[in-house]
Amino acid sequence: MTNTNVFKEPSFANRAQSPEPNKCRRIRAYLYRIVNSSLGLDTGWAQKHIANCPRCQSRIVGISKVELALSLVKSQRHDLDLLMRANAQAIGVLKHGLRQTPKAEKLKSTLPEPTLSERFSKYKHSAANVAACLAILLLMKIGIFSSMDKFQSRSQEVLKQYYARHIGQDLADEIFPA
């Protein structure tokens, strides 16, 4: 039996008693860093083992070969009118009534079209840049306006104190109502 409670979340009672809620987050990040640095094919000990182990080498070569073959198969292009020809051939064996519908005629001349995501993939980087610029502008605007408010309220307080010292508290309260 494996112990499945190791990564269980703490109960509500324990969570309420926990003095530092950020501690859990820090531990999680630390564990993630440790696991990433000590496991994986790029780590030193794994590389050292692979360099001296013919079985692992052949396994990795085999997997790379499969991945390479799969990407080669995927990268092969067919004629642009293949869909059109396939549709025409398939419609040719359907019932007579279906063969003469406008939809069938349209399918016989259909060319492959890129999907919406493929069509807009070239604008992906530009969109990300624009979004980042907008976010920075928004943050700057929020920062400036919040500072302005703080500055105004502080200066009012200083002026009120000045007037209170020189002409009296009553008049200062009248000039600067709360």
Partner 1 sequence: MFDKALGYGLVWDVTVSDTIDESQQWILSAMQKHGQGLVTMLWRILGNEQDVCDAYQSTFLHLAHCQSGQKPQHVKAYVFRTASNVAVSMLRRRLVERKGLSAAIAGRSSGKAVSSGDAVQDVFPSPANEFDSKYLQDILRCYITRLPEHLRDVITLHDLAELPYEQVGKILSISAATARVYRCKAIQLLSAWMSKER
Residues of this chain, 86-145, that bind partner 1 according to CB under 8 A: 86-87, 89-98, 101, 103-104, 107, 110, 112-113
b/e burial code for range 87-107 (CB count within 10 A of at least 16 → b): beeebeeeeeeeeeeeebeeb
72 binds partner 1 (CB under 8 A): yes
CA distance 124 to 117: 9
Alpha-carbon distance of 100 to 103, in angstroms, equals 8
- Which residue from 10, 62, 143, 168 is in contact with partner 1, where contact means CB under 8 A? 62
Q: Is 50 in the site for partner 1 (CB under 8 A)?
A: no
Residue 80 found at the interface with partner 1 (CB under 8 A): no
Q: In whole angstroms, give the CA distance from residue 39 to residue 17.
A: 34
Least distance in angstroms from the C-beta of 65 to partner 1? 5
Does position 76 bind partner 1 by CB under 8 A? Answer: yes
Q: Least distance in Å: CB of 23 to partner 1? A: 32
Note the Cα 5 to chain centre separation in Å.
30
Decide whether 87 or 164 has the Cβ nearer to partner 1.
87
Amino acid letter, residue 15 = R
**Helix, strand, coil shares, percent, the chain, to 5:** 75, 0, 25
Tell me which residues touch partner 1 (CB under 8 A). Answer: 58-59, 61-63, 65-66, 68-70, 72-74, 76, 78-79, 82-83, 85-87, 89-98, 101, 103-104, 107, 110, 112-113
